[in-house]
């Protein structure tokens, strides 16, 4: 569905990311891991078209650059890490902005917005003023907005999540990860998420991409990828690994 070939992202003469070949199939939940500055954000930005890059990004067989902006917005959504909105929109109005690239009747739009806000557990915030929400609440409102944005996709959509759980409390972290798993399994959405907690990756068993210094160093099942040896190589910390009831945990 998304094929990346010979991708090169540079800034100021410095190589931020180099990927020879990467394919993300439909309906897969993919975790993007790596230390700070490894190129995770560069990858998301290259896919979402925010930074210039060389190489090919084929989405459903067509270069992402050649997608019509409106059409593309219905198929590729990006959850930002933080929000700079300071104007006093209500949370519901922010979610409703996700309707912009769509063509839905008023009633259908309202239903979609409501459903997305329930999914992202922010319906109770609907009437609150957005700038007054906490960081985690703001991010969940944006999550609802990007979910709305993808409801009219005709082909498998792609959802890019930039640190979707780093601002959330423990309960919300798992809600959001479960939601992402559900989106991938039930609606066939391909989800690419920047994550930091390796145990969450082990717990939800998604495919892992590990980036280090702008290159892909590992790609595969979490149990195979997240060995103490590799973690030490990439993050400079050697964890202990425990096995309980057919699951691993890292300390």
Partner 1 sequence: MNRLPAIPAAAVLISLLMVGVVLSLTQGAVSMPASGSLTAIWDAVFSSDRSGLLSHEKVIVLELRLPRLLLAMLVGAILAQCGAVMQGLFRNPLADPGIIGVSSGAAVGAVLAIVVLPVAWQIWAVPTAAFVAGLLTTLLVYSLARSSAGTSVVMLLLAGVAVAAFAGAGIGFLSYFTDDTRLRELSVWQMGSLNGANHQLVLLALVGFVVLAIWFQRRAGPLNAFLLGESEARHLGVPVERMKLELIVLAALGVGIAVACSGIIGFVGLVVPHLVRLSCGPDHRRLLPLSALTGAVLLMLSDLAARTLVSPAELPVGLLTALLGAPFFLILLLQQRKQWSLSGA
Positions in 148-167 near partner 1 (CB under 8 A): 149
Q: How far is the CB of 199 from partner 1 (least distance, A)?
A: 30
The correct pick among 11, 100, 118, 224 for binding partner 1 (CB under 8 A) is 100
Adjacency order of strands within the sheet including 215-220: 62-63, 54-59, 2-11, 14-24, 215-220, 207-212, 29-33, 190-194, 158-161, 76-79
Between residues 124 and 178, which has the closer beta carbon with respect to partner 1?
A: 124
Residue 147 CA to residue 132 CA, distance in Å, equals: 22
Q: Are 96 and 144 in contact (CB under 8 A)?
A: no
88 and 130 in contact (C-beta within 8 Å)? yes
**Position 11 contacts partner 1 (CB under 8 A):** no
| 138 near partner 1, rule: CB under 8 A | no
Determine contact, residues 191/184, Cβ cutoff 8 Å. Answer: yes
DSSP at 128: S
Count of residues of this chain found to bind partner 1 when the rule CB under 8 A is applied: 31
Residues 47-76 that bind partner 1 (CB under 8 A): 48-50, 69-74, 76
Binding mask 74-93 for partner 1 (x = CB under 8 A): x-xxx-x--xxxxxxxx--x
Q: Which residues bind partner 1 (CB under 8 A)?
A: 48-50, 69-74, 76-78, 80, 83-90, 93-94, 97-98, 100-101, 127-129, 149
């Amino acid at each position: 569905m998304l094929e990346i070939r010979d991708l090169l992202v540079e800034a100021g003469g410095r190589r931020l990311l180099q990927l020879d070949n990467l394919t993300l199939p439909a309906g897969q939940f993919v975790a993007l891991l790596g230390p700070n500055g490894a190129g995770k954000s560069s990858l998301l930005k290259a896919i979402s078209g925010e930074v210039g890059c060389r190489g090919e990004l084929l989405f459903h067989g067509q270069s992402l650059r050649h997608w019509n902006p409106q059409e593309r917005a219905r198929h590729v959504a990006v959850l930002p890490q933080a929000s700079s909105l300071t104007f006093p929109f209500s949370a519901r109005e922010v979610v409703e902005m996700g309707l912009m690239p769509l063509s839905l009747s008023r009633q259908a739009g309202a239903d979609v917005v409501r459903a997305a806000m329930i999914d992202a557990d922010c319906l109770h915030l609907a009437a609150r003023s957005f700038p007054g929400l906490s960081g985690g609440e703001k991010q969940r409102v944006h999550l609802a907005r990007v979910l709305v944005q993808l409801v009219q996709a005709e082909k498998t959509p792609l959802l890019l999540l930039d640190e979707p759980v780093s601002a959330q409390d423990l309960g919300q972290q798992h809600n959001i990860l479960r939601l992402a798993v559900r989106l991938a399994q039930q609606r066939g959405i391909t989800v690419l998420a920047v994550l930091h907690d390796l145990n969450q990756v082990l717990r939800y068993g998604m495919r892992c991409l590990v980036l280090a210094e702008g290159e892909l160093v590992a790609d595969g099942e979490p149990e195979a990828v997240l060995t103490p040896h590799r973690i030490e190589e990439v993050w400079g910390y050697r964890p202990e690994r425990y096995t309980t009831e057919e699951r691993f945990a890292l300390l």
